Amino acid sequence: MKLIYEKSRPGRRGLEIPKPDLPVPSVPAALARANPPRLPELSEPEVLRHFTELSTRNFGVDTGFYPLGSCTMKYNPRVNERLVGLPGFRDLHPLTEDDAAQGALELEWELQQILLEVTGLDAVSLQPAAGSQGEFTGLLLMRAYFDDRGEGEQRRKIVIPDTAHGTNPASVTMAGYEVTKVSTDARGNVDVDDLRANVDEHTAGLMLTNPSTLGLFDENIDEIREIFHGAGALMYYDGANLNAVCGISRPGDMGFDIVHINLHKTFSQPHGGGGPGGGPIAVRQTLEPYLPVPVVSREGDVFRLDYDRPQSIGKVRGFSGPFGVFVRSYAFMRTWGPGLREMSEVAVLNANYLLAMLRDDYTVPFDRTCMHEFVLSARTLKQEHGISALDVAKRLMDFGFHPPTIYFPLVVPEALMIEPTETEAKETLDAFAEAMLQIVREARDDPEAIRSAPHGRPVGRLDEVRAAKTPVVRYAFEQRVGAAPTT
Ligand SMILES: Cc1ncc(COP(=O)(O)O)c(C=O)c1O
């Protein structure tokens, strides 16, 4: 496919803007451009076709199955878009006085109440813009809490299991804490003996995802809570996997003191490619005074943005947070109502259905009933046929599926982390399982078909690190003389 600059022809126009009969202001010479901007010149249908063709080269939840483990790529109901586009929401200026934004503030307050119910905690801040920012904010709350108790200098360590998402240790380091890593036991739980040996009066807290990134619910969560609370430390729940437990179990009841919720995963919001997201945090009463400002409060029937919180850690994001995300997630929650539990039950059922179809043909590192996702290993395929997790992922694209997450969690060699979500039909799951089994057969009979995958795609195997680190986002006019106007 040609770039839009390569399609450009000098003088071609999409539309002619009428020339207003107004005096032309003189621009100071120092500010005037020497040459007109080098914009592509095309007719309107050419532009339309160009971008329509580009859009077909992308893969999204709207084009196919997207079982990217830990990312919860579920269908985003279109009604959410209708609601977020209502003029009262869409056109609201973030600096509007509270009195003129009562509807929006009420929505935020209601959203806080639902999050309290889902997490089993006492207070919420909607401010953080993503799960990772929720983590960072939660850790700042821990610091404020221990500083107030005079234990800030003493408690410097945060315990993290070796299955943790990379943002956990990154947030710990950014918040000025030290990481203490603990291992995973033979059943895929946090190794409680290792934990006990690593928790003491210097520990500020634990960061844990439950269910973990292995898709397993930690069977020793009660014991873990006793160890941490017994040592005077706090517990942080990475809520990225909340889609498995809504209405079934609550982080607050498990003993967690701070939780982040990835609104863009559990409660639907088009995401991927960098955003937008929402990562509110919910906390226990003892931590409420430190929450970021503003907090949405209610006095009778009046809603306010409350900035008068002297012990607050301050602001972590502009205004009250990513408002469009709030509207979509609120709409999603209200659509499900008390049936949110069913959402999680179906997500867990779908994952176990897929696992049951694949467990005999792939290596299952921890063979237990899974939660909303599961981790397979391509280790045996690699040993016997030289086919890696990356090869499996690339070949899946030929069958029309987005690859699962690969090589994560790090404790599983050749990991394939699969999360189907609740929004997929049985036929889709069957077709995906069949593709995965076909790849196993091909590994034996025709491994080259896998190693050379993907086939017939706009691009083959990319140097992904180079593409991410040194993207070419500027058209090199000088090297393409004749392809576009050069003035
Ligand atoms: C387990 C886990 N924790 C934390 C995060 C970070 O969330 P976000 O991408 O919203 O920053 C992710 C994101 O994929 C995750 O999977």
Residue to probe by mutation, ligand 1, list 132, 210, 259, 375, most atoms within 8 Å of CB: 132
Residue 341, helix vs strand vs coil: helix
How many angstroms does the Cα of residue 76 sit away from the middle of ligand 1? 18
pLDDT score for 464: 86
Find the helix or strand (DSSP H, E) in which 416 lies. strand 415-418
- Under DSSP, the state recorded for 444 is H
pLDDT of residue 419 exceeding 50, the answer is: yes
Gap between the terminal Cα atoms of the chain: 25
Alpha-carbon distance of 153 to 439, in angstroms, equals 54
pLDDT score for 481: 52
Percent helix, strand, coil in the chain, to 5, is 40, 10, 50
Share of the chain above pLDDT 70, in %: 98
The owner of tokens 């995963």 is: 265
pLDDT score for 52: 95
pLDDT of residue 447 exceeding 90, the answer is: yes
Residues lining ligand 1, judged by CB closer than 6 Å?
Answer: 70-71, 130-132, 165, 167, 209, 213, 238, 240, 262, 277, 279
Q: What's the mean pLDDT when you consider all of the chain?
A: 95
How many angstroms does the Cα of residue 169 sit away from the middle of ligand 1? 12
How many angstroms does the Cα of residue 239 sit away from the middle of ligand 1? 8
How many angstroms does the Cα of residue 209 sit away from the middle of ligand 1? 10
Alpha-carbon distance of 155 to 204, in angstroms, equals 5
Q: What is the mean pLDDT of residues 25-37?
A: 91
pLDDT of residue 487 exceeding 60, the answer is: no
Residue 262 makes CB contacts below 8 A (sequence gap 6+) with 72, 130, 131, 134, 239, 240, 242, 277, 278, 279
Residue 271 makes CB contacts below 8 A (sequence gap 6+) with 71, 73, 264, 265, 277
How many angstroms does the Cα of residue 123 sit away from the middle of ligand 1? 22
Q: Which atom of ligand 1 is nearest to the CA of 164?
A: 1
Tens-place pLDDT, residues 89-114: 999 999 999 999 999 999 999 999 99
Query: Nearest to residue 142, comparing CAs of 112, 174, 119?
Result: 174
Strands 258-261 and 234-239: parallel
pLDDT score for 127: 95
Closest Cα to atom 15 of ligand 1: 240
**Half-sphere CA count of 247, side-chain side, radius 13 A:** 15
pLDDT score for 466: 94
The region that residue 240 occupies, defined by phi over 0 for left and psi between -120 and 50 for alpha, beta otherwise, is alpha
The region that residue 33 occupies, defined by phi over 0 for left and psi between -120 and 50 for alpha, beta otherwise, is beta
Q: What is the mean pLDDT of residues 250-259?
A: 98
How many angstroms does the Cα of residue 119 sit away from the middle of ligand 1? 17
Q: List the structure tokens of 381.
A: 């395929």
Q: How confident is the model at residue 276 (pLDDT cuts 50, 70, 90)?
A: confident
Tens-place pLDDT, residues 167-180: 999 999 999 999 99
Q: How confident is the model at residue 186 (pLDDT cuts 50, 70, 90)?
A: very high
pLDDT of residue 454 exceeding 50, the answer is: yes
Question: What is the amino acid identity at position 29?
Answer: A
Q: Which atom of ligand 1 is nearest to the CA of 134?
A: 11
Q: How confident is the model at residue 275 (pLDDT cuts 50, 70, 90)?
A: low
Question: What is the amino acid identity at position 41?
Answer: E
Question: What is the amino acid identity at position 413?
Answer: P
How many angstroms does the Cα of residue 55 sit away from the middle of ligand 1? 26
Alpha-carbon distance of 96 to 133, in angstroms, equals 25
Q: List the structure tokens of 311.
A: 């012990």
Q: What is the mean pLDDT of residues 135-152?
A: 98
Question: Do residues 132 and 171 make contact, with C-beta atoms less than 8 angstroms apart?
Answer: yes
Q: Which atom of ligand 1 is nearest to the CA of 70?
A: 16
Q: Which atom of ligand 1 is nearest to the CA of 132?
A: 11
pLDDT of residue 241 exceeding 70, the answer is: yes
Closest Cα to atom 14 of ligand 1: 71
pLDDT score for 360: 97
Q: What is the mean pLDDT of residues 328-349?
A: 96
Q: How confident is the model at residue 484 (pLDDT cuts 50, 70, 90)?
A: very low
Helices 340-358 and 323-336: crossing angle, nearest 10°?
A: 90
Q: List the structure tokens of 198.
A: 């690593």
Q: What is the mean pLDDT of residues 196-212?
A: 98
Residue-by-residue DSSP string for 14-79: S--PPPPSSPPPPPPTTTS-SS--------HHHHHHHHHHHHTT---TTTS---BTTS------HH
